[in-house]
Amino acid sequence: MNIILLGPPGAGKGTQARRLVEERGMVQLSTGDMLRAAKSSGTEMGKQVAAVMERGDLVTDEIVIGLIAEQLDQGAGEKGIIFDGFPRTLAQADALGELLAARGSKLDAVVEMKVDADALVSRITGRFTCDNCGEVYHDTTKPLSVEGKCDKCGGTSFTRRADDTEEALRNRLMVYYRDTAPLIGYYYAHKSLRSIDGLGEIEEVAGRVKSALAS
Ligand code: AP5
Ligand code: ZN
């Protein structure tokens, strides 16, 4: 089963994607994670996108479509793929349909996670990530069980994202509503859209994702 998790910054796409990976053995393809990896390993492309990401603007369609095509060519996702943070423009959505069709595959569902702007701000400004395993935490809604130690891997070093400032977030939200929200209509027209309430406990939202995928 190939699915898209669609929603604004902080909607919980990454959090729910990681659960689906653990529970179902699906593969998570996050263009945000791929771009951050390119940035931290200092590749040419990483250097090129760093400032764009820090502002909260979109990287070019060409770059992100290339990243996804590369993963699909390497055979990602026999048990299904979760597209997280991709597609983000109509051109990316068209490209994804074509990339999957060319490989004899297709998209099965698009889960739209709805969260209001106030909740997004507090989610994003409280987020931090384990440097070792990538587990995502939150100061109040998902704190560490033991101070200073990752629950998953015992790691002791954590990072806050450069684009998780209030200013960058304002821009990311504007960009989401301008460039990405039109995909809701696009996938509604393709009959693959399932919208869920993304507010509530992580566990509760996971239950809604599960029901949406079963429907
Ligand atoms: P990307 O990395 O994709 O960021 P994003 O879409 O802004 O989404 P986030 O990762 O911020 O949020 P999320 O929905 O995954 O939330 P999370 O689960 O972490 O993109 C970053 C940048 O890369 C873009 O701005 C752009 O520059 C570039 N880029 C990436 N893809 C691109 C593309 N396709 N085209 C062009 N450019 C692209 O949760 C957030 C926090 O809330 C966490 O702390 C979590 O613990 C907490 N939380 C989660 N669920 C709940 C809950 N139910 N209740 C309470 N707290 C919760
Ligand atoms: Zn960890």
ipTM: 0.97
Q: Which two tokens stand for residue 118?
A: 């106030």
Q: What backbone phi and psi angles, to 5 degrees, belong to 105?
A: -125, 180
Say whether 210 is catalytic: no
Query: How far, in Å, is the centroid of ligand 1 from the Cα of 23?
Result: 20
Query: How far, in Å, is the centroid of ligand 1 from the Cα of 116?
Result: 14
Say whether 161 is catalytic: yes
**pLDDT, tens digit only, all 215 positions of the chain:** 999 999 999 999 999 999 999 999 999 999 999 999 999 999 999 999 999 999 999 999 999 999 999 999 988 777 899 999 999 999 999 999 999 999 999 999 999 999 998 999 999 999 999 999 999 999 999 999 999 999 999 999 999 999 999 899 999 999 999 999 999 999 999 999 999 999 999 999 999 999 999 98
161 ligand 1 Cβ < 6 A: no
Determine the Cα–Cα distance for residues 126 and 195; give it in Å rounded to an integer.
25
Helix axes of 117-125 and 166-175: crossing angle, nearest 10 degrees: 140
Which of 18, 19, 39, 88 is the catalytic position?
Answer: 88
pLDDT at 75: 81
Q: Which two tokens stand for residue 201?
A: 């406990």
pTM of the model: 0.96
Query: How far, in Å, is the centroid of ligand 2 from the Cα of 143?
Result: 13
* CB burial of residue 106 (10 Å; 0-12, 13-18, 19+): exposed
Q: Which residue puts its alpha carbon closest to atom 53 of ligand 1?
A: 202
Q: Which residue puts its alpha carbon closest to atom 6 of ligand 1?
A: 9
Pocket of ligand 1, candidates 15, 68, 130: which has the most ligand atoms within 8 Å of its Cβ, to mutate? Answer: 15
Beta carbons within 8 Å of 131's beta carbon, 6+ residues apart:
155, 157, 158, 159
* Strand 81-84, strand 136-138: pairing: unpaired
Buried b (16+ CB within 10 A) or exposed e, 178-211: ebbeebbebbeeeebbbbbebeeeeeebbebbbe
Domain ranges of the chain: 2-26+79-213
14 ligand 1 Cβ < 6 A: yes
> Under CATH, what is the fold of the domain 2-26+79-213?
Rossmann fold (3.40.50)
Q: Which two tokens stand for residue 80?
A: 């299904």
Say whether 13 is catalytic: yes
Among 183, 203, 205, 182, which Cα is nearest to 192's?
Answer: 183
Pocket of ligand 1, candidates 29, 45, 58, 140: which has the most ligand atoms within 8 Å of its Cβ, to mutate? Answer: 58
pLDDT at 79: 84
Do you find a cis peptide bond into 87, omega within 30 degrees of 0?
A: yes
Which of 19, 123, 127, 208 is the catalytic position?
Answer: 127
Q: What backbone phi and psi angles, to 5 degrees, belong to 146?
A: -115, 125
What's the DSSP call for residue 178?
I
